[in-house]
Chains A and B, each alone.
Chain A
């Protein structure tokens, strides 16, 4: 499959990049690691006139701890760098664990944290070649008006399949977004819309630049559990991230987030309340597992059946909580 023709823009600063975005807003795609965009362009899911290669913008690289505040991670930081960061492993272990499960080592060398946050939502009926989609009939997410997952429906259910965002949600991450009018900060949980074909709140002239993890979320115990068929390469078919802070044997604070079972990564509402102030027992883990399974809305967007994936959200949540309890 040939790559469509495009003009490559290679800015050296955020200002320059945002300038290009503003000029070509309707016809430009941002390229960082390229592990998501390039295959999609070959499949003609995107045929932009311009590709904005942001990899030369040095200020978007690196992990920078800020005493008393937290840590700032440039969006171009590779998943491999996150996986192997001693600082993150010590203070935000759920993030390194999630980063280590993304795809395969080769792809983690290319893929970035920003790309993982902005990962396009995925669906078996969408991530296919142009020829395939023509034969099947175009869907809401690209060129069409019907949904193969929920025929008759008008909403796109393409599923968010990033591994790191549930961990970041648990850590109360914020993201910085640059635009011609300056930079703004947004809690990550407000970044996603839950709509498959319009999954993030990022205007065409905006660029995701940094991720912030507050110091208040540091040193939580955390676990990420990922359902996949193979031990490598695969996108998650369901994912559970849990962070817990304990004092005196009780949970003082906790958060639980899911991925790959909804069009957005989601914090499970009520999980914190259910866990806080309690001792982590099997019964409690079961209860939280049930809650998580009710939050998940898997559909036939991915391999394995929806009911099985929902069931695994229950099992993985329970296991994640017990893993923290027994650690």
Chain B
């Protein structure tokens, strides 16, 4: 049944009005009587042991209500069960500049700021590690005592016989790629408001309510319970509107725990809102990743083996690190048919802010390397880059060598569409000098088949209640963070129930009211919460059907629910007196329905009086309104409620090897992109003119939303490709603000042509899969490949800043080298201080790997 009345139509977000008028409330808009402002004291050192903290001077300041430090909540926590290495406030050591030392709750921000100055902390400074390859060689002063060599986790996977396949390959490419660190830069800075109720019996703080900008209210509830040593039932987490997450709010962020700890001690509500600088320190973004990649292919361009060694610069704590490093390896599979895969992944601790999940979690940087290398193979084998991708397609349904089950697979159509729309065949290689086209593909999970909490409970549960006046209330734990999950849930419920969207009210992400959903991350919500909503709606619909069938004197199977009407199947939709040709109630029908209009019927609503009138004229009918069906069902059944849940099927949960839990998904999205760029050969500046982006999302439930997600992904990918980079010096983040951390502005945003491909997944809700992350990863290599097409230089390090591009151009032409390392003023010193390996400040830095692209591009520097 492809004839839907609600889904598949461009639909305005159900929360759009509040956001556009300013009436909508984000966490920082909230306040409570007696609310205090919390401010956090951050570490000035990248690695130091705390000898002593004296808060007495701060406590004595007028207006300060409480000062909290590590010992006020010493239980460790972390988002992963294997990574409980964080504390609300540090208890022994600080591990990055910006680590959380103490928090002041005071009557206003200025007082709290002043009080921070009065906290005396003595530190014993320890040797710090800024470069992951250096950090892995550490012999002492480990960042965490239980992590020798500062390796958080390493995995070594071998599927097939990679060495043999590489030895026999007709063509092998090998290179080191580096993707520098990027962060989410969500518009809304993190904010949390925590308030305890006074327990009526004890007079002490009792139940806790936390409003927070979070993607994961249930994880937050769980971690709060852990750290505060309270039962989860005593904690209520509410997610107000969230201004973007992108993964940066997909775990428990320090301020969320700190606000609760401070509120408990202060015995008053405490709100903490991060400054933009604090957002950068809280970070949890995409780690700087070093990828040594080797790919082999036969003479026809079929990939025979991939060997990857990946080192991720994870920062000071575990966060999602173990998952990130596993995704990097696992998602080498499931895009192309690769018979042999070897993967060595190292998640390394360094004394920098913590990396975590970011849009395209774990896959993006490796995909950049892989798709760049695939183009190199195509070049060597003289095969068109689009064609070599077509030759390596999977043949689903199948299970990849690393245990990933693939069912729906729209990649071939994605490639065809972008090739066709971009004029690839006619234009590739024929553009004017300095202009080029590049192609790349990517994919992503529609939620993880195994949840991080290792439990067999459903990943999503949804409850639906229908009221006597025909109002449908959906209780969902799904967290709308701007991606539109509330709208998706409303659409699915109203499609199944055959009622108009205006009837559906979504109550979401409030742990007291909504059943558990594990959160908005890894693109799981449409697939999993959508399926749970679908099932809940179907369940409650059964009650409506039974009642309506009785009323209408027909079999349940004969009933059709659509457009707020219940009709019989044998009456063709066009003939129904209740509907006009487009399936909506016709004006004629409304005007003849005298009772309803007299008693004040408005769309989606009916007044009680008219209902009572309607009930008088009972008897078999050919059609009923939705309200009549609801009233009948309530009369028959009592309460009208339904519940539905979703757990990924066993077959989709992956293999048995160590680390096999990460990567498997019930379904994968697919993306292919062509980027058109021009390169200024004198300046190295790259301009992206247009990106054609085809994305297989299974089915587009809300096409306008899918297009928005595709455009957003391309745009964010372009930021990482060209301008965004966190720059470090001695563990100091040099650009902790949106002026110097350069996300693209609207001026350089290219035209993006989103192309929706619908492969209709057998298990997705109405066939839908993910659409908000998978497109990002293709953008970076598509741009890189286009730069190669334009000017013949292969860039191995992102972002492709003008200086890096120019250095590569100069190296290619064997012209005067551009020194990317040092100041050039004659009065400037010849060496700068040690640093974390960033391009700007690469003075007396760590020795670079022989394959390090920066070393090749700029051998003249003072690197060694």
Q: Report A's interface with B, CB cutoff 8 A.
A: 1-2, 4-5, 104, 124, 128-129, 131-132, 134-136, 149-153, 155, 157, 227, 229-235, 297-300, 303-308, 310-312, 315, 319
A45: shortest Cβ distance to chain B, in Å? 14
**A1-B277, A131-B42, A151-B832 provided; 4 other pairs, C-beta below 8 A?**
A129-B736, A306-B824, A307-B818, A312-B683
Closest Cβ of chain B to A156, distance in Å, is 12
Give B680 Cβ to nearest chain A Cβ, in Å: 9
The answer to whether A315 touches B682, judged by C-beta atoms less than 8 angstroms apart, is yes
- Residue of chain A at shortest CB distance from B799: A229
A131: chain B residues at CB < 8 Å are 42, 44, 277
**Among the interface residues A128, A227, A298, A315, which one has the most CB atoms of the partner chain B within 10 A?**
A128
The yes or no answer to B629 lying at the interface (CB within 8 A) is no
Which residues from chain A contact B684 at a C-beta distance below 8 Å?
A: 308
Q: Are B823 and A234 in contact (CB under 8 A)?
A: no
What sequence of 0s and 1s flags, for each residue 787-831 of chain B, a beta carbon within 8 Å of any chain A beta carbon? Answer: 000000000000001110010000000000011111111011100
Residues of B within 8 A of A232 (CB): 745-747
- Could you say which of B110, B277, B744, B833 contacts A129, with CB atoms under 8 Å apart? B277
- Separation of A7 and B818 alpha carbons in the complex (Å): 50
List the 5 closest A-B pairs by CB distance, nearest first. A231-B747, A135-B44, A308-B803, A232-B745, A2-B109
* B134 in the interface (beta carbon within 8 A): no
Q: Is there a chain A Cβ closer than 8 Å to B742's Cβ? A: yes
| Contact between chains at A310 and B747 (CB < 8 Å) | no
Give the CA-CA distance A227 to B684 in the complex, in Å: 12
Nearest CB to that of B843 among chain A residues? A300
Tell me the minimal C-beta distance from A51 to chain B in angstroms.
Answer: 16
Q: Does B589 contact A (CB under 8 A)?
A: no
Contacts of A150 in B (CB 8 A): 823, 825, 827-829
Q: Distance (Å) between the CB of A86 and the closest chain B CB?
A: 24
A231 to B742, CA, bound (A): 11
Determine whether B839 belongs to the interface, using a CB cutoff of 8 Å to chain A.
yes
Contacts of A319 in B (CB 8 A): 682
B723 and A230 contacting across the interface, CB-CB below 8 Å? yes
Some 30 contacts from A to B, beta carbons below 8 A apart, are: A2-B109, A124-B735, A129-B275, A131-B42, A135-B42, A136-B730, A149-B823, A150-B825, A150-B829, A151-B832, A227-B683, A229-B801, A230-B723, A230-B742, A231-B745, A232-B745, A233-B739, A233-B745, A234-B739, A297-B824, A297-B825, A298-B823, A298-B825, A300-B840, A303-B840, A305-B839, A307-B819, A307-B822, A308-B818, A308-B820
On whether the beta carbons of A305 and B45 are closer than 8 Å, the reply is no
A231-B745, A233-B739, A298-B825 as given contacts; A135 in contact with B45, CB under 8 Å? yes
Instruction: Name the contact of B736 in the complex, choosing from A5, A132, A227, A307 (C-beta under 8 A).
Output: A132
Across the interface, which residues of A come within 8 angstroms of B110, CB to CB?
A: 2, 4-5
Q: Is B748 an interface residue (CB 8 A)?
A: yes
| Pair A305/B825 contact, Cβ less than 8 Å | no
Nearest CB of chain A from residue B849's CB, rounded to whole Å: 21
For A308, the chain B residues whose CB sits under 8 A away are 684, 802-803, 806, 818, 820
Give Cα distance in the complex from A235 to B683, angstroms.
Answer: 18
Query: B818 and A234: CB pair below 8 A?
Result: no
Q: Is B711 part of the contact surface with A, judged by Cβ < 8 Å? A: no
A276 CA / B830 CA spacing, docked (Å): 38
Q: How long is the Cα–Cα vector from A303 to B684 in the complex, in angstroms?
A: 15
Whether B734 sits at the interface, judged by CB under 8 Å, is yes
Q: What 1/0 flags go to B28-46 for Cβ under 8 Å of A?
A: 0000000000000011110
**Whole-angstrom distance from the CB of B399 to the nearest CB of chain A?**
45
* Best-buried of A128, A149, A300 by chain B (most CB within 10 Å): A300
Q: Are A134 and B747 in contact (CB under 8 A)?
A: no
Inter-subunit contact B277/A298 (CB<8 Å): no
Measured between beta carbons, the chain A residues less than 8 angstroms from B275 are: 1, 129
Q: With A150-B828, A231-B747, A297-B825 as given contacts, are A311 and B732 in contact (CB-CB < 8 Å)?
A: no
Q: Does B841 sit within 8 A of A, measured CB to CB? A: yes
- Most chain B beta-carbon neighbours within 10 Å: one of A4, A155, A304, A307: A307
Q: Please name the residue on chain B nearest to A237 by beta carbon.
A: B802
- How far is it, in angstroms, between the C-alpha of A254 and the C-alpha of B860 when the chains are bound? 37
B829 touches A151 (CB 8 A): yes
Q: In the complex, are the beta carbons of A124 and B740 less than 8 A apart?
A: yes
How far in angstroms is the closest Cβ of chain A from B616? 63
1/0 per position for B658-693, CB-CB distance to A under 8 A?
000000000000000000000000111000000000
Q: Quick one: which of B731-774 are within 8 Å of A by CB?
A: 732, 734-736, 739-740, 742, 744-748
- Check B818 against A124 for contact (C-beta < 8 Å): no
B802 touches A300 (CB 8 A): no
Question: B113 on the interface (CB 8 Å rule)?
Answer: yes
Q: Which residues of B contact A2 (CB under 8 A)?
A: 109-110, 113
A310 to B822, CA, bound (A): 12
Verify B747–A305 contact, CB threshold 8 A: no
Are A311 and B744 interface neighbours, CB within 8 A?
no
Q: Within the complex, which residue of A5, A128, A311 is in contact with B818, where a contact is CB–CB below 8 Å?
A: A311
B-side contacts of A132, CB under 8 Å:
277, 732, 736
A306 touches which one: B97, B727, B802, B823 (CB < 8 A)? B823
The residue from A5, A227, A230 contacting B748, defined by CB atoms under 8 A apart: A230
Q: By the criterion CB–CB under 8 Å, are A306 and B818 in contact?
A: no
Docked Cα-Cα span, A297 to B823, in Å, equals: 9
Question: Which residues of the other chain, B, contact A152 by a CB distance below 8 angstroms?
Answer: 829
Q: What is the CB-to-nearest-CB distance from B792 to chain A, in angstroms, rounded to a whole number?
A: 20
Instruction: Say whether A305 contacts B44, CB under 8 Å.
Output: no
Contact status B824-A304, CB under 8 Å:
no
Q: A104 and B820 in contact (CB under 8 A), knowing A131-B277, A304-B802, A305-B839?
A: no
Shortest beta-carbon distance from A43 to chain B in Å: 9
Chain A hits for B822, CB < 8 A:
305-307
**How many Å lie between the Cα of A5 and that of B110 in the bound state?**
9
Residues of A with C-beta under 8 A to B833: 151
**In the bound complex, how far is the Cα of B730 from the Cα of A215, in angstroms?**
52
Query: Which residue among B723, B748, B824, B833 has the maximum number of chain A CB atoms within 10 Å of its CB?
Result: B824
Q: In whole Å, how far is B90's beta carbon from the nearest beta carbon of chain A?
A: 15
Complex alpha-carbon distance, A197 and B34, angstroms: 44
User: Looking across the interface, which residue of chain A has its beta carbon closest to that of B743?
Assistant: A230
Q: Are A299 and B823 within 8 A (Cβ)?
A: yes
